[in-house]
Amino acid sequence: MSAEDARFMARAIDLALARMGETWPNPAVGCVLVKDGQVIAEAATAPGGRPHAEEQAVPAAGEAARGATAYVTLEPCGARSSGRASCAHFLAEAGVARVVVAALDPSPFAAGRGAERLRQAGVEVETGLMGEQAAVLSEGFLHRHETGRPMVRISEDGQGFDARFAASPRADLVTELKRLGEAGYTRLWTGPGELADALAEQGLLTS
């Protein structure tokens, strides 16, 4: 992949980073549609997690999306929990010719299904571009998917987090975090102190 590919993926990552902390229970995703070297549409996951980035960018591009390249920070979903058309469907139906994905999504609604659906529709799919840079965008979402708990980190101001984790250090912290995970939280923050020490002792603090 080219330096131009990296430039457009960096833009998609920047779009998503600007939405960090606003999109739970879904991860923040950026999508940039490019044709003939020019950006024709771009979007990030909306506050509250919907609409997804792709389902905003595709209509914004209109007919110009046909033959375009889409740069997406996370694998487009291959199915939707609501049963509505998936993001892979949106991209394929719009006639996008190529999709460049930073990171694959192991959640049940993607897990390679999005990329496979695109390929079956004749769309060229490339993965892994700037995957390390994009990892922060979905780490909380994936952590909750794997453990049932939101991840927790120490922060001074909580910027980019879903909410502050406030609990007694003597509480059942696993139960408290499971409850917040069920509510859809993915990334929580706490300041340095007794609570952070208790979380660290139990292996619940993400480095």
Per residue in 146-188, pLDDT tens?
A: 899 999 999 999 999 999 999 999 999 999 999 999 999 999 9
Per residue in 12-26, pLDDT tens?
A: 999 999 999 999 999
Do 163 and 122 meet the contact criterion of CB atoms below 8 Å apart?
no
Strand segments, DSSP code E, in 87-203 are: 98-103, 124-127, 151-154, 163-164, 187-190
Which range is least confidently modeled, 56-65, 82-91, 117-126, 180-189? 82-91
Where does the pLDDT of residue 35 fall: very low under 50, low under 70, confident under 90, or very high at 90 and above? very high
Q: How many helices (H) and strands (E) does the chain have?
A: 7, 8
| Distance of alpha carbon 45 from alpha carbon 51, whole angstroms | 6
Q: State yes or no: is 4 an active-site residue.
A: no
Burial of 203 (0-12, 13-18, 19+ CB in 10 A): exposed
pLDDT at residue 82 tops 60: no
Do 116 and 109 meet the contact criterion of CB atoms below 8 Å apart?
no
- List the structure tokens of 5: 């590919």
pLDDT at residue 43 tops 90: yes
Q: What per-residue confidence (pLDDT) applies to 112?
A: 67
pLDDT at residue 5 tops 90: yes
- List the structure tokens of 25: 């229970």
| Distance of alpha carbon 27 from alpha carbon 22, whole angstroms | 9
- CB-side exposure of 205: number of CA atoms within 13 Å? 19
Q: What is the mean pLDDT of the chain?
A: 93
Q: How many other C-beta atoms lie within 10 A of the C-beta of residue 149?
A: 23
Q: Phi and psi for 3 in degrees, rounded to 5?
A: -65, -30
Q: Phi and psi for 71 in degrees, rounded to 5?
A: -105, 120
The catalytically annotated residue of 54, 93, 124, 176 is: 54
